Amino acid sequence: MTTNTESIFSFIDTYAESKEELYLEAIVEVCQKWLSGETQPMLSETVTKEDIRRGIQLAVLKGMKKNVQPNHQMTPDSIGMLIGHIASKLAAGEGNITLLDPAAGTGNLLYTVMNTIGNDITATAVEIDDLLVRLSAITAELLEHPVTFYVQDALRPLFADPVDIAISDLPVGFYPDDENALNYELMPAAGHAYAHHLFIEQSMKHTKPGGHGLFIIPANLFESEQSSVLHPYLKKQTIIRAIIQLPDSLFKSAAHAKSILILQKPFLDKKVTHDVLLAKVPNMTDKHAMALFLQKIDIWAND
């Protein structure tokens, strides 16, 4: 029996392969037709937002492989769902949750988190690539997620309201605009700033007091050549809540290994200190080990 996710992928793929334009452009086109009711995939009555997200994601991944671009990358579902689980625990019991993803890409990470948290949630997505924004926007409409989009360099002044939770699969590398980087505490005394450092600072700047930042970071973030700039900033402007090492099996090599950094923006009148959670995610195919790990995360979040 064909699943809803498979049906959605097949529906999009069949259309996109029949067109002469770029595969990713064709995805936007067919999703617009789906949204308008002109044509639709054959779905069961129990279709979920995750079915829709995953079906579109599979098509986008195929399109990215067809036309490889350095800035066209997608956060693996296993990591996205873990971020979603953590975010949902931090948001538990709260209403009108607001999110920010300053490097939203196609929105896959953002929508994974929104689907996990559930209803009563709005988001702001920032992305400089126009095609990725169009893919993200049409996906948001199909998922019925309220998202405000900014098509810009996220490290430029961002006129967005502070949010409860900022999330980002941080773009790693040097930021070339030294003049703009001078507006950040994390601009080093010499050389270019790390873009991933500036994204952390910009995200926390747009987080409410008491709010959280969940970032997918290089595993060697705290040992890099600019860590001497990062450490004082984090100590002064944030509270480090957790550093969670992701399984090596998720990455091509140790050089590409990633972790999850969880920060909290201090309340204006007090800065409470807590123990930092240091943890390593087990092999994600080991269901028992993962259940124990998520239980540990839940206890930490409740505390």
Place of tokens 């709005």: 122
Distance (Å, whole) CA 263 – CA 114: 19
227 within some domain = yes
Note whether 59 and 12 are within 8 A (CB). yes
134 within some domain = yes
60, 97: one domain? no
Interior/surface letters 61-79, b for 16+ CB within 10 angstroms, e for the rest: ebbbeeeeeeebebbbbeb
Q: Which of 66, 85, 106 is the last residue of a domain?
A: 66
Give the tokens for residue 233.
């900033």
Poorest-confidence range of 27-36, 73-82, 132-141? 73-82
202, 289: one domain? yes
263 within some domain = yes
Q: Does residue 275 surpass a pLDDT of 90? A: no
What pLDDT score was predicted for residue 270? 60
| Amino acid of residue 72 | H
- pLDDT exceeding 90 applies to what percent of the chain? 85
Q: Which of 66, 89, 105 is the last residue of a domain?
A: 66
What pLDDT score was predicted for residue 86? 97
256 within some domain = yes
The model's pLDDT over 79-126, given as tens digits with 9 standing for 90+, comes to: 999 999 999 999 987 889 999 999 999 999 999 999 999 888 999 999
Give the number of residues written for the chain. Answer: 303
Give the tokens for residue 240.
């480090």
71 within some domain = no
What are the residues whose beta carbons fall under 8 Å from the beta carbon of 47, sequence distance 6 or more?
4
What pLDDT score was predicted for residue 254? 80
Residue 194's domain is classified under what CATH number? 3.40.50.150
What pLDDT score was predicted for residue 251? 86
What are the residues whose beta carbons fall under 8 Å from the beta carbon of 302, sequence distance 6 or more?
89
146 within some domain = yes
Q: Does residue 71 surpass a pLDDT of 70? A: no
Beta bridge partners of 149: 125
Which tops the pLDDT comparison, 271 or 181? 181
88, 60: one domain? no
Averaged pLDDT, 281-287: 92
Nearest C-alpha neighbor of 244 from the set 212, 281, 214: 281
133, 56: one domain? no
99, 206: one domain? yes
218, 85: one domain? yes
Helix (H) or strand (E) holding 30: helix 23-36
Distance (Å, whole) CA 160 – CA 209: 15
Averaged pLDDT, 180-201: 97
199, 297: one domain? yes
Q: Which of 66, 99, 117 is the last residue of a domain?
A: 66
What pLDDT score was predicted for residue 253? 81
59, 96: one domain? no
Instruction: State which residues form the domain around 180.
Output: 77-302
Averaged pLDDT, 27-39: 97
Beta bridge partners of 242: 262, 277
Distance (Å, whole) CA 26 – CA 18: 9
56, 87: one domain? no
Q: Does residue 128 surpass a pLDDT of 90? A: yes
Nearest C-alpha neighbor of 38 from the set 11, 9, 6: 11
72 within some domain = no
End-to-end CA distance of the chain: 44
For the chain, the average pLDDT equals 93
Poorest-confidence range of 73-77, 197-201, 259-263? 73-77
Averaged pLDDT, 23-36: 97
Residue 34 in 3-state DSSP? helix
What pLDDT score was predicted for residue 187? 97
The model's pLDDT over 216-243, given as tens digits with 9 standing for 90+, comes to: 999 999 999 999 999 999 999 999 999 9
16, 141: one domain? no
The model's pLDDT over 131-180, given as tens digits with 9 standing for 90+, comes to: 999 999 999 999 999 999 999 999 999 999 999 999 999 999 999 999 99
119, 255: one domain? yes
Report the domain count for the chain: 2
What are the residues whose beta carbons fall under 8 Å from the beta carbon of 249, sequence distance 6 or more?
283, 284
60, 102: one domain? no
